[in-house]
A and B are shown apart, each in its own frame.
Chain A
């Protein structure tokens, strides 16, 4: 994975010094709260309900064991010995004191990490496929370009005071596991149909929040050396023309929507035509320098599905289930990527204790070349596990409560912090996730239902991606109570779609039964092998709507 050179190291040190000075100026009154706020946000510091929150970037979701140990230490020294992984491959600490932040940032810098641009109206942490570099369906590893963009977007002089936040995601695989279509810019690494050269297909204007939109194609094929100049052109058009009169209309998706994708494309191309890509792009030697950091580790020559694995699976049904459910095919024979679920039944989705972090770090060192990935589904991945070591790994994980075999199943629920922590929330989300996971905990039941993504947000900002959940749950306030709106048919993958609202909002205690009713329709009507979301697509929303509304105790008018 990428390692800082002397320049990167000096840069994050400078940034820590700068933020320390900013805190001092705030305390002395030289900066007002209004002036300080964007500065603290651009260093990942939010104010939540009970304390400050610090959001730490895990660029494109790649983390080393050493880094994870440092996060565990920070959790113990400055927080309550746990952290929360988010849908944007960040880690959040919920109980931070502002006075400690400079010291924490210095500890992060020690392990080549930072919290830069994890919030604020700037280009945010670049996200990527969690299986980057190991997935069998990959054209090219997206991490080198994600790192290039990370550097280019860091402390950008022109684009640090944008109309609104700006999120970029990259994938290099056939299957989109990075939700690129709901980002401000989504990049897909593609092969040119004629020349076979790799470049980027560029989506723009996706996003969730108050006005969910799926991104639109703005460029089918962008040659690699043009990337940074093209991004600069696009950002410049957005910075100049994005709306600033209303923060709910300030994302680039609204600009694209209002002027139309053709006009937007024309403006970007006109700006791009005035730039010299070679003056902006990193030169080939620099690109090569970055790429070399992502060279594959020293894999052994192994055979797939070795006897040891087969025997262990046959002898141990629980292990077998875990491998089947949480394993992901690796491009190298004899290896496997595995998901470590942070969705233990009854736990807060995405939360992990400092002790858990240490265990994962230890196991990554032992079984995965010291590397860990963070997924946008709020789980962790060990990307490089030998298949003949899976059984040992599983044992160790199970002892630490991290071997829940539910990746991609109904209890693998995405939930934002909601009103238990978040100052913007209108309702709680974690307790809903806990109630649902508990209701559907039985492993056989989960298997029977099959892959299903439930996503929960505690307000319209949609941090829990509810719009693109196969079942989405949005917490709102209705007549002084928490109320939950259910949507159906969303999808974050290749067939990205925004879910439709099923009916009136529900009380928290009504949610599990309502989900049961939706599942009953699916189980009754599915064709052999058909997934929940595919049944919804085939059957349409009506039968689900009817079942959903059948037993509501409120007037469903």
Chain B
């Protein structure tokens, strides 16, 4: 798998391990079923993340959201957009850790994913190689503006209009 954030491809500091094997690893992702066990044995400073399905109700994830450092939401296919909504709901519930999208996304979804609250994307290697890093970064750059308020995105058109109105001659 290849990890990608807004600066490009980068090494993944997290390793996927069952709770029983996490000792000695500075950053791990455990299966959702293991989260309680993992938190029990967590060492000081050890970072723990969890893998969740995109069908998990947001309420179920928020129960432990404040105790984990990373939540990885699975995208079974790029056209399955449930992960975008789940990410939004987790952010709304106050999750401040790393949000990761896991699956065969396409570069053209990168800016959307970021706007919904994701920090990074974990891609199958073959997909990452075929699509190339540049296409992902280009997607972040291509829209200088957006229409939706309240999403984490570059310049918002409605706010920009407001500024133009109040900043210009009145």
Enumerate chain A interface residues (CB-CB to B < 8 A). 5, 7-8, 10-11, 14-15, 17-18, 21-22, 25, 29-32, 35, 38-39, 121, 151-152, 154-162, 236, 239-240, 244, 274, 279-283, 285-286, 289
Contacts and interface: CB of A to CB of B under 8 A. Distances in A.
Interface in B111-155: 111-113, 115-116, 130-132, 135, 138-139, 142-151, 153
Sorted nearest first, the 9 A-B pairs with minimum C-beta distance are A161-B81, A157-B115, A157-B112, A7-B157, A158-B84, A151-B147, A239-B85, A240-B85, A279-B150
A286 B81 CA distance: 30
Contact of A155 (B79, B92, B132, B143): B143
Given A121-B79, A157-B153, A282-B158, A14 B142 contact: yes
A160 B139 CA distance: 15
Interface stretch (B27-35, B41-49, B66-74, B159-167): B159-167
A219 to B, nearest CB: 21
A22 B150 CA distance: 28
A14 B82 contact: no
Contacts of B153: 157
Nearest to B149: A280
B78 A18 contact: no
Contacts of B135: 21, 25, 30
A244 B80 contact: yes
Contact of A161 (B88, B109, B132, B144): B109
Contacts of A157: 84, 111-113, 115-116, 146, 148, 151, 153
Contact of B79 (A38, A156, A240, A283): A38
Given A158-B84, A159-B81, A286-B161, 19 more contacts: A11-B157, A15-B143, A18-B108, A18-B139, A21-B138, A31-B106, A151-B157, A155-B112, A157-B84, A157-B111, A158-B85, A158-B115, A158-B116, A161-B78, A161-B109, A236-B88, A236-B89, A244-B80, A285-B162
- Does more than half of chain A's interface fall in helix, strand or loop, or is it mixed? helix
B81 A280 contact: no
Given A161-B81, A286-B162, A156 B142 contact: no
B144 A22 contact: no
Contacts of B131: 25, 30-31
B108 A29 contact: no
Contacts of A29: 130
B86 interface: yes
Contacts of A158: 81, 84-85, 88, 112, 115-116, 151
A279 B149 contact: yes
B142 A18 contact: yes
A156 B78 contact: no
Contacts of B82: 239-240, 244
A22 B132 CA distance: 13
Contacts of B84: 157-159, 161, 239
A29 B130 CA distance: 8
Contacts of B88: 158, 236
B106 A155 contact: no
Contact of A7 (B145, B150, B151): B145
A32 B78 CA distance: 12
20 contacts: A7-B157, A11-B147, A14-B143, A22-B108, A25-B131, A29-B130, A30-B135, A32-B130, A38-B79, A39-B108, A155-B143, A155-B146, A157-B115, A158-B84, A158-B88, A159-B84, A161-B78, A239-B81, A244-B80, A274-B92
Contacts of A162: 81
B143 A152 contact: no
Contacts of B145: 7, 10-11, 14
Given A11-B157, A30-B132, A283 B162 contact: yes
A8 B157 CA distance: 8
B81 A10 contact: no
B112 A160 contact: yes
A462 to B, nearest CB: 23
Nearest to B88: A158
Nearest to A35: B106
Contacts of A30: 130-132, 135
A272 to B, nearest CB: 13
Given A152-B148, A236-B88, A279-B149, A289 B138 contact: no
A216 B106 CA distance: 36
B79 to A, nearest CB: 5
A160 B81 contact: yes
Nearest to A14: B143
Nearest to A37: B79
Interface in B57-107: 78-82, 84-86, 88-89, 92, 106
A435 B43 CA distance: 80
A15 B143 CA distance: 8
A274 B144 CA distance: 29
B150 A280 contact: yes
A71 B85 CA distance: 37
A121 B88 CA distance: 19
A17 B141 CA distance: 11
A351 to B, nearest CB: 33
Contacts of B111: 157
A240 B165 contact: no
A289 B112 contact: no
B78 A35 contact: yes
Nearest to A8: B157
A279 B82 CA distance: 23
Contacts of B139: 18
Contacts of A8: 157
Nearest to A229: B150
B116 to A, nearest CB: 5
Nearest to A13: B144
Contacts of A11: 143, 145, 147, 157
A157 B130 CA distance: 24
Contacts of A22: 108
B48 to A, nearest CB: 26
